[in-house]
Structure 1
Amino acid sequence: MPTVTTSDGVEIFYKDWGSGQPIVFSHGWPLSADDWDTQLLFFLRHGFRVVAHDRRGHGRSTQVSDGHDMDHYAADLATLTTHLDLRDAVHVGHSTGGGEVARYIARHGEGRVAKGALISAVPPIMVQSAANPGGLPKKVFDDLQSALAANRTGFYRDLAAGPFYGYNRDGAEPSEAIIQNWWRQGMMGGAKAHYDGVVAFSQTDFTDDLKAITVPVLVMHGDDDQIVPYADSAPLSAALLPHGTLKTYAGFPHGMPTTEADTINADLLAFIQS
């Protein structure tokens, strides 16, 4: 398996297919690079080089006990992009991966990055506070950690079969294959990484990162996202980005890169080629 080793000894697994302008994909919690397979094949067919990695503690990367925070995630991504010497790259992040992309571009990547895309992404910050009254109460995330610690297998199954893809909505037609693939990816990773990752994706403030990004960034979000609520995320991120563009999808769920892949892929392609 292709891996790159970080400065603190973590082996990061990655996929690197094709040639041409690179598009680098950062996955959501608690998944893996496999969550991007539909996008990887689509953009590969359109002449791009596609790269996706498993975040530390996730998928096939090392299950270390520490470093599960956005600074390490971004630094690990920088290690990968330097190792592969990726230039003029487009960085695409879903959910937690959107936070990783924002921090990476702001602190490591602008010299190598052409554009960015944040899909159903966690910035600017998820947790509620005096400065972020529209955020979710900290108890929401504490409860996620408690459910993970008590019964990770059941919790992951329920999350995939319910709000992640909007399968709990009236009229929804759940795909058992998608649910099982989400569960498979989640269970490949380490419980400690996923437990700590809840804090990373919910409590990290990306406001300064977003303000510092000078490349064009497309912010894509469904207005029926039950994981990262729309109103306190995408519009605020787009407003903070110097060259941000907001694209809102009526009724789309958090996992829209999977359930609405045709639409998301076409819009990403148009943005990259614009």
Structure 2
Amino acid sequence: MGYVTTKDGVEIFYKDWGPRDAQVIFFHHGWPLSADDWDAQMLFFLAQGYRVVAHDRRGHGRSAQVWDGHDMDHYADDVAAVVNHLGVQKAVHVGHSTGGGEVIHYVARHGEDRVSKAVLISAVPPIMVKTEKNPDGLPKEVFDNFQTQVAANRAQFYYDIAAGPFYGYNRPNAKPSEGVIWNWWRQGMMGSAKAHHDGIVAFSQTDFTEDLKSATIPVLVMHGDDDQIVPYADSGPLSAKLLRNGTLKTYPGFPHGMPTSNAETINADLLAFVRG
């Protein structure tokens, strides 16, 4: 574990576990969480002999709570700072939700020289918000309401997300885990309200279409068809079509938070892709 300081003076926290000469799997967390959200994946891949790296996005987790730079360009540049600091080569970059947008934007903005493959899990690309070019997207009012709730009472808002749609705990016959719910809440409350408030615009309004089109590396798109946070039909299949070398894997009934709720299945498929 350690910190790297970006070119604009922001301290970014990262975890770096495993043999220095092993294949690197670099994990990118979702909003409003931290590198801790990858516990199930990092321990799994570490046991398989890989080197695993994950950072806390600026304003999230243990990284500096700066007031600005909460946009995809800065997110991608912060990733580059960690990659450069660690000397990472030919990593497989795995992003969940907002982290998936961060992955594909990092690849487009900083090139593929140090990247071998990428994985987008329940990810926000191509674009979440409804526009003339994306008529099936979610209305902007949905995300405006997110910002309102973050400002009004984010503690309650974060609990409600984790206890409800994020893991599908609001579905009939669901078996909620209080530990999972409170761990989500803990990670969210560690971060900055300002970063989370601004991050809603970053993940909902950024158009990743050209980023997806420009990628030439193999990209695995993993998405559950019962995702209540990033609706399946307007994300996973569309991203896979835009990618030159993309593969879509659909998970019937899986929720947005499937890396945690369905870790065994997700880990096995990630491993197969990394080894393939």
* TM-score band w.r.t. shorter chain: over 0.9
TM-score (norm 2): 0.99
TM-score (norm 1): 0.99
Matches within 5 A, 1:53-72: 53-72=55-74
* C-alpha RMSD of the superposition: 0.5
Contact 1:238-1:246 at 8 Å conserved across structures: yes
Secondary structure of residue in 2 paired with 1:60 = coil
Q: Distance in 1 between matches of 2:133 and 2:214?
A: 20
Q: Deviations over 1:144-175 (max 9, x none)?
A: 00011100100000000000000000110100
- Of 101, 125, 135, the match for 2:103: 101
Q: Distance in 2 between matches of 1:3 and 1:213?
A: 29
Q: Distance in 2 between matches of 1:58 and 1:266?
A: 28
How many Å apart are 1:141 and its aligned residue? Answer: 0.2
How many Å apart are 1:107 and its aligned residue? Answer: 1.3
Matches within 5 A, 1:16-165: 16-19=16-19, 20-165=22-167
Q: Deviations over 1:105-164 (max 9, x none)?
A: 111140000000000000000000110011000000000000111001000000000000
Secondary structure of residue in 1 paired with 2:15 = strand
Q: Distance in 2 between matches of 1:125 and 1:144?
A: 17
1:179 aligns with 181
Q: Distance in 1 between matches of 2:115 and 2:194?
A: 31
How many Å apart are 1:232 and its aligned residue? Answer: 0.3
Q: Deviations over 1:243-273 (max 9, x none)?
A: 0000000000000000000000000000010
Q: Distance in 1 between matches of 2:189 and 2:106?
A: 26
Q: Distance in 1 between matches of 2:192 and 2:231?
A: 26
Q: For 1:13, give the aligned amino acid.
A: F
2:11 aligns with 11
Secondary structure of residue in 2 paired with 1:221 = strand
For structure 1, the 5+ residue unaligned runs are none
Is 2:261 the counterpart of 1:259? yes
2:272 aligns with 270
How many Å apart are 1:184 and its aligned residue? Answer: 0.2
Q: For 1:18, give the aligned amino acid.
A: G
Q: Distance in 2 between matches of 1:222 and 1:211?
A: 23
For structure 2, the 5+ residue unaligned runs are none
Q: Distance in 1 between matches of 2:109 and 2:63?
A: 23
Is 2:6 the counterpart of 1:2? no
Contact 1:78-1:109 at 8 Å conserved across structures: no
Q: Distance in 1 between matches of 2:86 and 2:27?
A: 14
Secondary structure of residue in 2 paired with 1:166 = coil
Q: Distance in 1 between matches of 2:6 and 2:111?
A: 16
Q: Distance in 2 between matches of 1:78 and 1:134?
A: 33
1:233 aligns with 235
Q: Distance in 2 between matches of 1:146 and 1:88?
A: 41
Q: Distance in 1 between matches of 2:275 and 2:108?
A: 22
Q: Distance in 2 between matches of 1:219 and 1:70?
A: 19
Q: Distance in 2 between matches of 1:145 and 1:16?
A: 33
Q: Distance in 2 between matches of 1:107 and 1:241?
A: 16
Q: For 2:173, give the aligned amino acid.
A: G
Secondary structure of residue in 1 paired with 2:212 = helix
Q: Distance in 2 between matches of 1:145 and 1:199?
A: 9
2:200 aligns with 198
- After TM superposition, the structure 1 stretch with the greater mean CA deviation from structure 2, 196-205 or 104-113, is 104-113
